[in-house]
């Protein structure tokens, strides 16, 4: 799909998933085991190619390492347009729920209706239903271990990276879908150990230097790579490596400088770089980057890194 900056779906405070969302649980657990509390939310990053990316979540299933999975039925199925929760905003599914303490292996989101997208080029179009390789009945299984501390509270974020997860199948789309396939890509972040990178970007000046055709729909993106002194590369889901996230630049205040925010980053060293050129998420491309710099993220802190030419 051209310009892959669809979005980063974050299931913030994942331990929440392991929370007992006031619903019924299936599976077995030791009634004498210690418990902890957790909360579950959703967040996302800016998107350009879509005007809607909709999920209908009915329940959350969690798998303890040493016992059967537990299913938490939501009181009411939640229709969530991921585009409504960007730049660190979250949609809270439930909070402060109690579950057995210990290690967990995975979380699964069960869906009541087929997920779908609407392309930004035609917001009035009929929704395009996403094909799930594993089948809608099995929901979205998100691998990744986490721990709920005994007597404590756990908050995690599952960074569900839609720009890496939604693939344009074109003429090879499976039966039952138009052209998009949903193949979840994600990472699990402990909220207590994560921070954010924010900054301003001199888009107008850079666009003139690079010859980009920046318009009202897309102002380029800041790419974030794990580690210091990383050489920036494009986003290609078919190859190893590449950016951890690519955050679309915005200009909500109509200011001379544009802005960006990369949230839910584990504390540590990163390399950031900006390009105003479009990037196909399924092809190798040579992009021209500017403002490449090292940034150290500190837990519970917003670190500023501007790209000014």
Q: Are residues 221 and 170 in the same domain?
A: no
Residue 299 confidence (pLDDT): 96
Residue that finishes a domain, picked among 148, 164, 184? 184
Phi, psi of 11 (to 5 degrees): -95, 85
Q: Are residues 238 and 134 in the same domain?
A: no
Q: Are residues 174 and 201 in the same domain?
A: no
Q: Are residues 164 and 201 in the same domain?
A: no
Asked if residue 177 belongs to a domain, the reply is: yes
Asked if residue 294 belongs to a domain, the reply is: yes
Q: Are residues 209 and 163 in the same domain?
A: no
Domain of 52 in residue numbering reads as 8-184
What's the domain count of the chain? 2
CATH of the domain at 205: 2.60.40
Residue 199 confidence (pLDDT): 97
Asked if residue 2 belongs to a domain, the reply is: no
Of 9-23, 42-56, 102-116, 191-205, which range is least confident? 9-23
Q: Are residues 159 and 216 in the same domain?
A: no
Of 39-43, 172-176, 257-261, 297-301, which range is least confident? 172-176
Q: Are residues 161 and 214 in the same domain?
A: no
pLDDT, mean of residues 282-292? 88
User: H-helix or E-strand containing 205?
Assistant: helix 203-210
Residue 26 confidence (pLDDT): 41
User: Computed from CA positions of residues 199, 205, 211, 213, in that sequence, does the dihedral angle turn out positive or negative?
Assistant: positive
Tell me the average pLDDT of the chain: 78
List CB contacts of 70: < 8 A, sequence separation 6 or more.
18, 20, 25, 26, 27, 29, 61, 62, 63, 64, 99
Residue 303 confidence (pLDDT): 98
pLDDT, mean of residues 220-236? 93
CA distances 248 to 85, 114, 211, 280, 306, Å, are 14, 27, 18, 14, 14
Strands 128-129 and 245-248: unpaired
Of 30-34, 84-88, 259-263, which range is least confident? 30-34
Residue 252 confidence (pLDDT): 79
Asked if residue 103 belongs to a domain, the reply is: yes
The answer on pLDDT for 306 being more than 90 is yes
Q: How many CB atoms lie within 10 A of CB 69?
A: 17
Q: Are residues 136 and 20 in the same domain?
A: yes
Are 210 and 275 within 8 A, CB to CB?
yes
Are 50 and 118 within 8 A, CB to CB?
yes
Q: Are residues 204 and 177 in the same domain?
A: no
pLDDT, mean of residues 140-144? 81
Q: Are residues 22 and 170 in the same domain?
A: yes
Q: Are residues 200 and 179 in the same domain?
A: no
Which of 201 and 147 is assigned the larger pLDDT? 201
Q: Are residues 167 and 34 in the same domain?
A: yes
pLDDT, mean of residues 105-125? 84
Rg of the chain over CA atoms, in angstroms? 20
């Amino acid at each position: 799909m051209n310009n892959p900056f669809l979005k980063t779906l974050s299931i913030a405070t994942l331990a929440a998933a392991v929370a007992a969302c006031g619903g019924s649980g299936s599976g077995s657990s030791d009634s004498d085991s210690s418990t902890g509390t957790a909360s579950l939310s959703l967040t996302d990053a800016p998107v350009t190619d879509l005007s809607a990316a909709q999920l209908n979540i009915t329940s959350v299933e969690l798998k303890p390492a040493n016992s059967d999975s537990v299913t938490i039925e939501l009181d009411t199925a939640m229709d969530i347009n991921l585009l409504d929760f960007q730049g660190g905003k979250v949609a809270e599914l439930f909070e402060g729920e109690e579950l057995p303490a210990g290690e967990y292996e995975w979380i699964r989101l069960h869906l009541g209706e087929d997920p779908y997208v609407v392309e930004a080029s035609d917001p009035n179009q009929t929704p395009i239903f996403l094909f799930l390789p594993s089948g809608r009945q099995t929901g979205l299984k998100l691998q990744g271990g986490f721990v709920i501390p005994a007597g404590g509270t756990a908050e995690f974020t599952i960074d569900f990276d839609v720009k890496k997860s939604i693939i344009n199948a074109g003429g090879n789309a499976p039966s039952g879908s138009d052209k998009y396939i949903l193949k979840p890509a994600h990472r699990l972040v402990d909220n207590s150990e994560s921070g954010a990178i924010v900054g301003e970007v001199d888009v107008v000046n850079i666009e003139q230097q690079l010859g980009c055709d920046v318009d009202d729909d897309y102002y380029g993106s800041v790419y974030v790579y794990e580690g210091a002194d990383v050489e920036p590369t494009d986003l290609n889901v078919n190859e190893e490596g590449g950016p951890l996230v690519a955050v679309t630049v915005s200009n909500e205040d109509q200011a001379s400088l544009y802005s960006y925010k990369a949230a839910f980053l584990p504390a540590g060293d990163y390399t950031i770089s900006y390009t105003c050129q479009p990037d196909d998420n399924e092809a190798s491309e040579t992009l021209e980057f500017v403002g490449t710099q090292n940034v150290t993220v500190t837990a519970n802190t917003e670190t500023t890194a501007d790209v000014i030419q």
